[in-house]
Amino acid sequence: MSSVGAASGVGALPMYAGNRAGVEALWRQLALRLRTVSLDSVPDVPAWPDDYLAHWREPALLLSQACGYPLVTALPGQVRVVGAFRYDVPGCEGILCRSQVVVRATDTATRLADFRGRRVAYNGTESQSGYNSLRALLAPLARGGAFFASHLETGGHLKSVLAVRNGLGDIASIDCVSLAEFRKHLPEATQGIRVLCETAAYPGLPLITSASTSDATLAALRGVIARAVAEPELAPLWQNLFITGFEALDEAAYDICKTMRDDAMALAYPALSAAH
C-alpha cells in the first residue's frame, strides 16, 4: 500500500482531556495498527495542542478530533472528515449526542424559561456543545434578541461546570461525554449540579485529517479505526473512554450545526447574551 505510506504525521485525540492516560494508551494501540497499513509516520504519542484551530489546520495532520461547529464554519476545504465515534453515556445515541444543560442542584428552577435574565457560562463561542446548540435551544424563548442578562466565557467545559457549581454562572451547556468523564474521573467537580434538560441532537466530535490526505489514506484510517473498535483485546481501552463503535462520515453530516446557527439567527437570536 505504497500510496498510503506517504501520509502525514501529526496526530491527536485532544477533545476529551480529562483522561489523558486513557487517550494515550488507546493512541499507542492505534499507532501500531496504522503502521501495519504503511502509515509509518504516525506519532508514538498524541499531541495536546493549546491552539485547536492551528492544530486542525496543520498541513501534516494525519488524525485528530475536532468540534462540529468550527468544522463547518472555520475549516471547510481545510480538512477531510474521517468519521465519528459512538459513545455510551447519557445523551448519546449512536453517533448522535446532545448537550446536557446543567444548573446548581439547589436551584429551584424547573424549566429553561425560568433562567431568563440570569447568567450563562459557556466554554467558547465556537463550541457546538457549549454554545451553538444552546443558542438554538433558547432562540424560540428569546425576546428582542435577548434571554440572559449576562454571560461568562470560561474557556472549557470543566470551568463552566465549576462556574455553575460555585455560583459564578447559573446555567451551562456541557458536552455529554465530557460530563460523563467529569463524573467518572473528577466526581467532586460535578457535586452540587444537576441536569435540567438536553439540547437537540447532532453528530458527535468529528475525526478529521488534512485536506491533502489521499483517498487511499482516508480509507486506511477508516478501516484501521473500524477494525480496532471491534477488537476484543482492546475492549478495556475503548470502554475506559466510553467508546462503543465508529462510523465513517463526511462533512455533510455536520450541516445540522449550520442549521442550528441559521435557525437561531432567523429568530433574531445571534448570541447567548445580549451583552455579548
- Per-residue pLDDT for 5 more than 60? no
Question: Which whole-number Å values give the CA distances from 172 to 132, 164, 224, 261, 264, in the listed order?
Answer: 12, 7, 36, 18, 18
Does the predicted TM-score (pTM) go above 0.85? yes
> Could you give the 3-state DSSP secondary structure of residue 9?
coil
- Tell me how far apart the alpha carbons of residues 242 and 149 are, in angstroms, rounded to a whole number: 36
pLDDT of 19-71, one tens digit each?
999 999 999 999 999 999 988 889 999 999 999 999 999 999 999 999 999 99
- Tell me how far apart the alpha carbons of residues 129 and 191 are, in angstroms, rounded to a whole number: 21
What are the structural domains, with CATH classification, of the chain? 2-88+204-255 (3.40.190.150), 96-202+259-266 (3.40.190.10)
Please report the pLDDT score of residue 74 as a whole number: 97
Concatenated DSSP letters of 12-80: ---S-GGGHHHHHHHHHHHHHHHHTTT-TT--SS----S-HHHHHT-TTEEEEE--HHHHHHT-TTTEE
The lowest-confidence range among 4-13, 22-31, 103-112, 122-131 is 4-13
- Per-residue pLDDT for 103 more than 50? yes
The set of cell numbers assigned to 81 is 472528515
Share the mean pLDDT of the chain.
94
Strands (E) in the chain, as ranges, are 10-11, 61-65, 79-87, 92-93, 96-97, 100-104, 119-122, 150-153, 171-174, 193-198, 202-203, 206-210, 243-248
- Per-residue pLDDT for 263 more than 80? yes
Q: Tell me the sheet residues that pair with 64.
A: 208
Question: Which whole-number Å values give the CA distances from 205 to 183, 189, 261, 271, in the listed order?
Answer: 20, 23, 17, 22
Q: Tell me the sheet residues that pair with 92.
A: 97
Please report the pLDDT score of residue 38 as a whole number: 84
Please report the pLDDT score of residue 274 as a whole number: 61
**pLDDT tier at 17, thresholds 50, 70, 90:** confident
Please report the pLDDT score of residue 18 as a whole number: 85
Specify burial of residue 174 (Cβ count, 10 A radius: 0-12, 13-18, 19+).
Answer: buried
